[in-house]
Amino acid sequence: MPFADCQSGSEIAMVGSVSDPARFTMPLDIVPSVCPHDCPSTCALEVERLDAKTIGRVRGAGENSYTAGVVCAKTARYAERVHHKDRLTVPLLRTGPKGTGQFKEIGWDEALDRVADAFKAATAKYGPETVWPYYYAGTMGLVMRDGIHRLRHVMRYSGQDSTICIALTDAGWLAGHGVKRGLDPREMQDSDLIVMWGGNPVATQVNVMTHVAKARKERGAKLVHIDVYRNGTAEAADIFIMVRPGTDGALAAAVGHVLLKEGYADREYLARYTDFSPEVEAHYASRTPEWAEAICGVPAQEIVDFARLYGRSERAFMRVGYGFSRSRNGAAQLHAATCLPALAGKWKRKGGGALYSNSAIYPWNKTMIEGKDRIDPKVRLLDQSRIGPVLIGEPDALKGGPPVTAMLVQNTNPAVVAPEQNKVIQGLLREDLFLCVHEQLPTDTVRYADVVLPATTFLEHDDIYQGGGHTFVLMGAKAIEPYAQSRSNHEVLQGLAKRLGAEHPGFDMTAWELADWTLKASGLPDAATLKEQRWHDCVIPFERAHFLDGFGTPDKRFRFRPDWSAIGPGFAAMPSFPDHLDTIEKASEEHPFRMTTSPARQFLNTSFTEMPTSVAREIRPSLLMHPDDAAGLGIAEGSKVRVGNRRGDLLLHAKMFDGLRPGVVVAEGIWPNSRHVEGRGINVLVGADAAPPAGGAVFHDIAVWVRPE
């Protein structure tokens, strides 16, 4: 039952700590909100408020035409997270050795004084670039996520090159399209064929499946899913194409070959809207299905069948996920796949074309939130994905600057989520590193902190949101009082700015005022109006969304031959044409398995891993193995296996699964390190090398050995 995870707006259930039936004799107070988690759906929510501090069930807003009354099961149970017994309540000061998690309670003033003093002392010794404010997408609210830049820019602290999620996908999309936007996802309902490539929305973005279901019901549309293992979306699909990890580019090039060979290419469209040339055609001619089969493992006939289905479907919607970009050749893979809608002229029709992200449709002026008026371009930018090499002082990672000796971490959990975990932990254990972590729950990163600050959840502060996977700006106003002594990211930045002498008008505003300023400066409805409306649709006209007025490239043409030099410094490694780029970490005698670290259905990166119901459903950190591979190694179901490579090793429990190709293993997560048998998590195995052309983490590009324990 593929949609067992969906929670429709009509369901009512009691959850978490809210179990007193008497409460439900009162009329429910339903407050609007927005899911802040790192997910393109950015769902419009309706939250049961039971009293000023307590929520009940969370549902999707039925009136929002994208959310359409559906949220994932994780967020429906959000009461379990916001009222979690382990929520951080007060500021803490480390009392034991680093990493042991021994703390004592302190007051807010003392905590902020200590952080500010540490930043001042570090700056006095090494200069401001020694301080590295580090953040990411634990909340996607613009005020609370991005405000850390204001402190960074005003104080001239080291910058963050935010590569961990979107750098490779952005590069691949921009290579062809020149701008980060595409179809309105609601157009899926007008499609005859939906190709879900390299993403698993049943687990990660359930609303996509709502729109797929509508197209299937009303138009008899087919769903094709392309991925490396038979996940929830594959189960729901009409056709599942299973590629070897890191070989989607070969599949895409061969599909292009068939489209051209069998007359499905739209020659008129190609001439008018793209840089298609005899050289591109000759390249495709060399990429036969048989050539691709040898690389990606998909039988040549299956490739031909898919190409024919794609070619003859008038309205074919390609939704690209992040998964297949998280590879050393990820940007090339994404470019190769997204050449197909242009090759077959799919963009011309409603329901045809592709969507990666719509973030470029939003007209944001983030000057006040981010302190963009104070950016000094000479300040170094450190690669977020390379936090391990940065913290252990590898010179190339430090970009020739001073060591990082002080950090403020908000909205992320690098001890678990960052590549080359052994280096990250080694760095976090450094005695000369001062670490302040502002968090909601005691994550693994919190264990390494010198000062811990308790943070509000999205329900406890005001913020504004944009949907990357749709077209709405949404207001998420404070719904309940902050838990215990927790403070918002913005309040912490205000407290530090005061102590550090950081002056910027943004520090003198409330979160609401920052949201209001930003909305007005961006030409959007002001905060009060947005609160009243709940959301504002920034949808762009059909002609523009379909690039019928030209693509975002300098000559307005889609690029089969990208100008990679305009995208990143590693352009020399990129292929000239849509192709398989043979730069992945290949299986070998020493490392016979290719591995991916795919998202578990009940987790979202490292969020939700603290919820008992999520843990109960995911059970334990496991390694999905083909039974034939397991038998060959004498590994039984449920037994411990050691998985490793030159970066490190860890213990997992084997889980037999025939929905992957022999020679491929999958570890779904991201489980906390502390949930693993030896306290080391899956990112021990992932490299922190920057993938071309512009960096990016390669979570699904790993070669490993597997041994019975």
Using CB under 6 A, list all residues that contact ligand SF4: 35, 37, 39, 41-43, 71-72, 74-75, 205-207, 604
Rg (CA), the chain: 25
Quick one: 7 or 518, whose CB is closer to ligand SF4? 7
Helix/strand/coil for 616: helix
Quick one: 59 or 153, whose CB is closer to ligand SF4? 59
Q: Which helix (H) or strand (E) holds 380?
A: none
Query: What type of residue sits at position 279?
Result: E
Structure tokens at 68: 């359409």
Length of the chain: 709
Which residues sit opposite 94 in a β-bridge? 103
Quick one: 333 or 357, whose CB is closer to ligand SF4? 357
Q: Give least dist CB 223 to ligand SF4, A.
A: 18
Q: Is the dihedral of CA 66, 68, 73, 76 positive or negative?
A: positive
DSSP 558: B
Quick one: 2 or 627, whose CB is closer to ligand SF4? 2
Quick one: 42 or 200, whose CB is closer to ligand SF4? 42
Q: Give least dist CB 456 to ligand SF4, A.
A: 17
Q: Give least dist CB 82 to ligand SF4, A.
A: 14
Measured distance CA(427)–CA(391) in Å, rounded? 5
Measured distance CA(501)–CA(154) in Å, rounded? 10
Quick one: 610 or 701, whose CB is closer to ligand SF4? 610
Any idea what the Cα angle at residue 554 is, between residues 550 and 560, rounded to 5°? 75
Quick one: 39 or 298, whose CB is closer to ligand SF4? 39
What's CA 686's distance to the chain center, in Å? 16
Write phi, then psi, for 290 (nearest 5 degrees): -70, -40
Q: Give least dist CB 144 to ligand SF4, A.
A: 16
Quick one: 35 or 137, whose CB is closer to ligand SF4? 35
Q: Give least dist CB 528 to ligand SF4, A.
A: 25
Q: Give least dist CB 73 to ligand SF4, A.
A: 8
Q: What is the dihedral of CA 76, 82, 85, 88, to 10 degrees?
A: 150
Quick one: 510 or 613, whose CB is closer to ligand SF4? 613
Quick one: 9 or 505, whose CB is closer to ligand SF4? 9
Quick one: 42 or 645, whose CB is closer to ligand SF4? 42
Quick one: 44 or 623, whose CB is closer to ligand SF4? 44
What's CA 84's distance to the chain center, in Å? 24
On the question of a cis peptide bond just before residue 612, with omega within 30 degrees of 0, the verdict is: no
Q: Give least dist CB 330 to ligand SF4, A.
A: 22
Task: Provide the b/e sequence for 273-290 (b: ≥16 CB within 10 Å).
Answer: bbbbeeebeebbeebbbe
DSSP 666: E
Q: Give least dist CB 197 to ligand SF4, A.
A: 19
Measured distance CA(687)–CA(488) in Å, rounded? 33
Q: Give least dist CB 193 to ligand SF4, A.
A: 23
95 half-sphere exposure, CB direction, 13 A CA radius: 7
Q: Is the dihedral of CA 187, 192, 197, 203 positive or negative?
A: positive
Q: Give least dist CB 94 to ligand SF4, A.
A: 32
Q: Are strands 316-320 and 193-197 parallel, antiparallel or unpaired?
A: parallel
Q: Give least dist CB 356 to ligand SF4, A.
A: 16
> Among 63, 697, 597, which residue's Cα sits nearest to residue 330?
697
Residues contacting residue 415 through CB under 8 Å, at least 6 positions apart = 421, 424, 425, 428, 443, 444, 445, 447, 448, 673
Quick one: 75 or 456, whose CB is closer to ligand SF4? 75
Q: Give least dist CB 61 to ligand SF4, A.
A: 11
SS3 percent helix, strand, coil of the chain, rounded to 5, is: 35, 20, 45
> Among 455, 384, 463, 457, which residue's Cα sits nearest to residue 417?
384
> Among 126, 150, 160, which residue's Cα sits nearest to residue 401?
126
Any idea what the Cα angle at residue 292 is, between residues 290 and 256, rounded to 5°? 100
Q: Give least dist CB 72 to ligand SF4, A.
A: 3
